Structure 1
Amino acid sequence: MNDTLKSHPSAGAYLGRGIYDVAEVARLTKCSRRRVEGWTRTGAVREPLLSGELDGLFSFWDLLSLRVIGELVDRGVPRAEIAEGANYLAVRLGTHRPFAHQGLATVGRGFFADIGSWVDVGRGGQQAFQVVIEPLLKPITFNESGMAAIWRPHLGVWVNPEVQAGAPCVDGTRTPTATLAQLHNSGLSIEDLSDDYRLQYEQVQAAIDFEASMAA
């Protein structure tokens, strides 16, 4: 992804915001590429649920928004209601990426409970929203503006848009998990990687486990 970022003519304006292509969004959200493209590309008869902030590429907020969209789709919320909800929440929360805002947990709950089918989707009445959305928000650290700042998708791993263009790294470091996993797969032991990168054994193991879970 760093090569993609460096080669993009507008990349300078997006430094510190994370940068992902469709393939990486699909990998990190555990959705198929076809589904992500279906949500983010204009079709013959419908508008996208979300358009990438950087000419077909996606920001950190886009990535987390698509996690929420994917969960709503999986729960059976109609596409039109997701779009309506996004527009409503954008106004209420004052951001163009409401699904990456901390306020989604409160403002969104009332809205999705009111629009009809959402209540039935979670099989728990009005408690459905907490059951579905709060686990998605729990591993996220929000900034003072209420917007997502850091995502920890796995114990010992962080996705920080200000570090390595938002690539998953060992928590608190700039070491990409993919680098460690690739080196381990090529034959280097966890002990060797710990020494080479000045990491604890558990940190390297967490990185390898995370990458394995993404490939599963």
Structure 2
Amino acid sequence: MPYPPKLAAALSGATVRELAHWRRMDMSRKAVLIPEISQRPILYSFRDVLALRTYVKLRNDASLQKIRQALGTLRYDIQECEHLLMYRLVTAGGTVHLAEPGQAADLAPGKANAVVHDLVGVLRPFRHDGWYVPDLLRPRRHVTVDPSIRGGMPVVEGTRVPYGEVAALLRDGVPAERIIEYYPSVTAAGALEAADFADYVDAMSK
């Protein structure tokens, strides 16, 4: 199940407005990431979300201008055109490098100690622009993300029940301890955390 921009933003640490900005491409600016699912409404894949998290983490160490310069070099100067997730990107004192085994291509000139943004680091929680971006595979203690379960839609831990369905019941006034009457496998704790995650998704989309 692909992710709408609202959920992709919450899972990546970007805002919906930033996602729209990063999709745009014109004569003076190259798109940061165009969703690999080519359809309307706009939807992001799990790989897109991973790439977006990498990009957001890069922004903690390098300017937007430097990152755009790096992506332009990657795509148009050295003809690397794979999905952004396929590359190991490194920040070094405000610049960005493409890291390969035994070497690193400088994509935006600068000098300093490198900070590698590998897949393991991208999955972990981090802070960005005052937001606490949760662990991608476990955004709440009782809410999990697994691409093999409902296509990666966040679900209540140990179930296939999407967080949004449980959160909607709580918002309609159903007490957490009665969620079990609707979804026998969902505990009250799981229901409360599904609602908490839904609140976070809504807050990130503003």
Note if contact 1:61-1:100 (Cα within 8 Å) is conserved in structure 2. no
Rounded to whole Å, the distance in 1 between the matches of 2:138 and 2:111 is 27
Question: Aligned residue for 1:75?
Answer: 61
The yes-or-no answer on 1:29 pairing with 2:12 is: yes
Distance 1:40 1:201, change over 3 A: same
Pairwise mapping of residues 150-169 of structure 1 onto structure 2 (< 5 A)?
151-169=137-155
1:113, CA displacement in angstroms? Answer: 8.1
Give the aligned residue type for 2:56.
G
> Match of 1:205?
192
Q: Which has the higher contact order (CA 8 A, sep 6+)?
A: 2
Residues 62-141 of structure 1 aligned to structure 2 (within 5 Å)? 62-77=48-63, 78=66, 79-84=68-73, 96-99=82-85, 107=99, 111=104, 116-117=109-110, 119=112, 125-126=113-114, 128-129=115-116, 134-138=120-124
- For residue 172 of structure 2, the aligned residue among 173, 186, 194 is 186
Letter in 2 for 1:37: A
Contiguous gaps of at least 5 residues in structure 2 = 91-97, 126-135
The count of corresponding residues between Structure 1 and Structure 2 is 178
Output the CA distance in 1 between the equivalents of 2:105 and 2:57: 13
Identity of aligned residues (%): 24
TM-score (norm. length: structure 2): 0.67
Of Structure 1 and Structure 2, the greater helix share is in 1
Q: Is the 8 A contact 1:86 1:99 kept in 2?
A: no
TM-score for the superposition, normalised by structure 1: 0.64
Q: CA deviation at 1:177?
A: 0.8
- 1:184 Cα deviation after fit: 0.4
Q: Is the 8 A contact 2:166 2:195 kept in 1?
A: yes
What secondary structure does 2:48 align onto? helix
